[in-house]
Structure 1
Amino acid sequence: MALVNVRRDVTDAFYRYKMERIQTKIEGKGNGIKTVVVNLSSVAQSLARPGSYVIKYFGFELGAQTNIDPPDDRWIINGAHEASKLQDHLDGFINKFVLCKKCKNPETDVVIKDGRIVLDCKACGQRTDVDLRLKLSGFILKNQPKKGGKKDKAERKAARKAKQQALQNGNKENGQGSGGENSENGSNGSGDKNEDEDDAGSDDEFTRKINADAQVIDAPAVVRDDDWAVDMSEKAVKARQSQLPSEFRQKLVLGGGDEDDDEGEGGGHTVYDTLGDWIQEEAAKADSINKVDDIQIYVKAKELGIETKHKTVLVLVQTLFDENILTQIPKRAAMLKQIITSERHEKALLGGLERLLAAQGKEHPELLTSDKIVKILHQLYDKDLVSEDVIKKWGSKASKKYVDLATSKKIRRAAEPFIKWLDEAEEDSDEE
């Protein structure tokens, strides 16, 4: 996944504001040719602007028709347009509708009042007007975010997090902090270290590591004989792998009726099997899945060309987590957020979770209880790995896509208290 600075005129590799480079896919031919902006939602989220603003800006600049509210996250511009050209137009959007006019910082909110569009900078406090003569200004005035929309949900989520943190701080005085809650699920680093580990695993930190290791991604791997202190022969690795818990030895189940079969998943060994096998081998070498490095995992996925695929999320959930998932999610969250860029990725995350719970539940039945599943969903939600809407849709109907129908129903019944909590919090926010 290619990341660039939000301000491309800034060459500092450690510039904190990053976004994905625009990715496009040309479809159709003749008069029906069109350009799909594959990752527009992710780019718009990095800029804290609705995707409709960005796609409409492209339409105005290119003189082409666009769709502004796609239900399937397929943002389309009529005609064939190169990604580099769209990236240049995006710079114009950022300069006019995102950057603070005083400090040139992208930490701004759009405030619409009395027919004016104001950029409220959270960094320096400056409030500046957007030029109303711009074509997109008229569109923004006519398409203000509706109450109860995504921005409102984000605000509600922030409020819920604040309340939850307040409760946790109160519990810590009695020795029942968030680390204590998860410590019953394993002793692999939970407790007082959780806060530091979360900071070390932040998005910015992971991005810095990716940038620092960028040359490693494209460079051939060089392994010296003195790098390893253990026998790394194929026979030795397989012997250690056979001693791992059964969840690491089991074959990954990647099928399940997914309509996107463009990688040939249905026949023979696939790149996803390769990634899963590699993670299991690395876990065998390190004697623990928790010691397999996030950067190495991301680099391997990039080598295989699947770092942007939603099925990669399915593999990672089944290989990186075990019965200690509650303490493992915070440590893997930064890396997973780099890969999870759409609703489809989020659905794959929940599908992988279903398969993991079904497999682990045989030896650890407590994972299938309502208490555990609610806590797991809380972790995924709090770490912004899955959205409120996707969780609600997932919980509304059982599916046999990833596991058998009976298990799917059992997992969703156990998740009901969390979904009810989301509904009640939304109702409370609406009343306020």
Structure 2
Amino acid sequence: MAAGIVNIRRDVDDKFYRYRMPLLLTKIEGKGNGIKTVIPNMSDVARALSRPPTYPTKFFGCELGAQTSFDEKNDRYIVNGAHDATKLRELLDGFIEKFVLCKSCKNPETDLIITKTDDIVRDCKACGERTGVDMRHKLTTFIVKNPPKNPRKSKKKGSTDTPASNGAHAEASTPPIDGLDAESDDELTKRIKAEAADLNEESELVKEDWSVDTSAEAVKARTKAAESAMASLSLGGGEEDSDEDADSPYGQLGRWAQENREAGPVEVYKKAEELGIAKKHKAVQVLAQSLFNEDIVAQIPANAALFKKMVTSEKHQKSLLGGIERLVGMAYPSLIPLVPKILMEFYQADILAEDIVQQWGTHVSKKFVDRETSKKVRKASEPFLKWLEEADDSDEDDE
């Protein structure tokens, strides 16, 4: 066997075994609290496994209780802390066993499929079997939110029986929420409200003084200022928008959501579907700007299930953060001190991932607001970012 190449199944001692991958390499960088493990050939390893390189990297973080970060453009995949190559290779074996090998024939020639109910299935090209993965593993949440790209995705409206291959969500022309039939409005409403209630009960905010003046005078002043700001605020957002956005599906959704905040998650989702933008990342940004007002912290749990349904990728998460930026930075600037609580609510509802928030918090951008406002919002987020960092350090100490 050539140097640096190993069998994907390292328990198979056969030099003619056809499924091989590069030997995982590691490089320790930094020192003290900034020490980290870089995996220079993660892309090559992941390509051999037919998986995105973010999956095994995130798997390492889940298993080690360490924070991970990805820079796909520069091909850098990092696990915080110092971890030797032998340990990570053993963990990679675990990833392969759980998320690559067919449970029936143990062949690695599989694709991941995400079903309408957000279950993950391994579709084996070798034996034809479809076997589920253990949905209790933390990585499954990341996979569902960041499905593998699927260039062969079918556009036929009637293809509801066969999920699209290579990890894309199986869709009908009118996808139901949580796998329920579109006609079951009563049951659907109960499910969404129940899920939102559960998320609300489980939420535990960090005990910091991330507060704002809630006196009657302050509330009245903020409301008046917000109303005038929202009147001139483009709900579309983003520097690519034009004056025609008011009549676009996004502008229509934004106005409707503002006027019907009490309609509930089901009706909001139906409206987005009706306008043909329920799956679009920009719809998430618009709803973040239009569904919430100065009571956003209290309003997030009631809408958590809706956002959990609609936020399905890294791009969706960034759009959600952009919508929050515009809401607190332009419409309700007095709520900027509440940014940590807002982020915490979305994070604990499993809508925002820590690596996305960390990346957002350290990169000022003028995509959604002006640069100065962007700086203010990110500066306000520092207590939450610090909490994330300390939580990761605590997990590492426990190891």
TM bucket (normalised to shorter chain) is 0.3 to 0.5
Q: TM-score, normalising length from structure 1?
A: 0.44
